[in-house]
Amino acid sequence: MNPSHDQNRTLLHIEQRRSIRSFTDEPVSEEHLLTILRAANQAPSAHNQQSWKFVVIRGDRKKELAALVNARAADFPKPAAVLLRMAARSINSAPVVIVVANTGELIGHGTDLFRIEKERALDFFQTMEIQSSAAAIQNLLIAATSLGLATVWLGILFLMKDEVLRFMGEEQGEFMAVIPVGYASKAGKAPKKIDFGMMVKWLD
Ligand SMILES: Cc1cc2nc3c(=O)[nH]c(=O)nc-3n(C[C@H](O)[C@H](O)[C@H](O)COP(=O)(O)O)c2cc1C
């Protein structure tokens, strides 16, 4: 652990965050939920458009989502099917699931504003929306960690994104992520990370 993390709680929580795929039955308080959603909404976003939507799923609706994912898993070849079934188990075990979608508002707004060709504008603003929502998701994950909550970013549901969007009533949006939130049933094992020095190139 980096010694500066003793003083700096933000760095500590960034380091402590783990993907957790199995949760206890302990509910997540409304206060904690609002705190992590607020943290997500504080993220930087292209043109400050906040082109994200968070759908909070609990109770029977959450069970329905898990059942939907489990049922659809059978339509995919083995590796994807296994990951989808794992995702369904995580959704089932977590007390809350937050689904993130991009609204597409930046695409409409930016295309008019920048007056560049439609095809290039679509590619540009779609990418900016994805990057903005990714920043919001990371804020949410770090905020959750700081409150002792566990999370996992499930991207595999992209394979059935139309059904997920329909389930949420957000058909006009673009799928970003499904995030089960709860308390870890056991401590997450830290995966081996390539040292950051390998990822950095210095040009002086
Ligand atoms: C864009 C994205 C998609 C991911 N999709 C999945 C997924 O579908 N299922 C899953 O179990 N984990 C998923 N993860 C979590 C990664 O497997 C995890 O971040 C990685 O193994 C490193 O572990 P850590 O998060 O504990 O550092 C995803 C993470 C990201 C950023």
pLDDT digits (tens, 9 = 90+) for 152-192: 999 999 999 999 999 999 999 999 999 999 999 998 889 99
Look at 23 and 189; give whichever has higher pLDDT.
23
Query: What does the pLDDT look like over 45-97, one tens digit per residue?
Result: 999 999 999 999 999 999 999 999 999 999 999 999 999 999 999 999 999 99
142 in any annotated domain: yes
Provide the 10 A C-beta neighbour count for residue 156: 19
Ligand 1 contact via 152 beta carbon (within 6 Å):
yes
Whether the CB of 85 sits within 6 Å of ligand 1: no
* Residue 9 in domain: yes
Nearest CA to ligand 1 atom 15: 153
Residue 140: which CATH number?
Answer: 3.40.109.10
The total of structural domains in the chain comes to 1
100 lines ligand 1 (CB under 6 A): no
Burial status of residue 52 (CB atoms within 10 A of its CB: 0-12, 13-18, 19 or more): buried
Predicted model pTM: 0.95
Q: Which domain, by its residues, includes 95?
A: 3-199
* Whole-number pLDDT of residue 3: 59
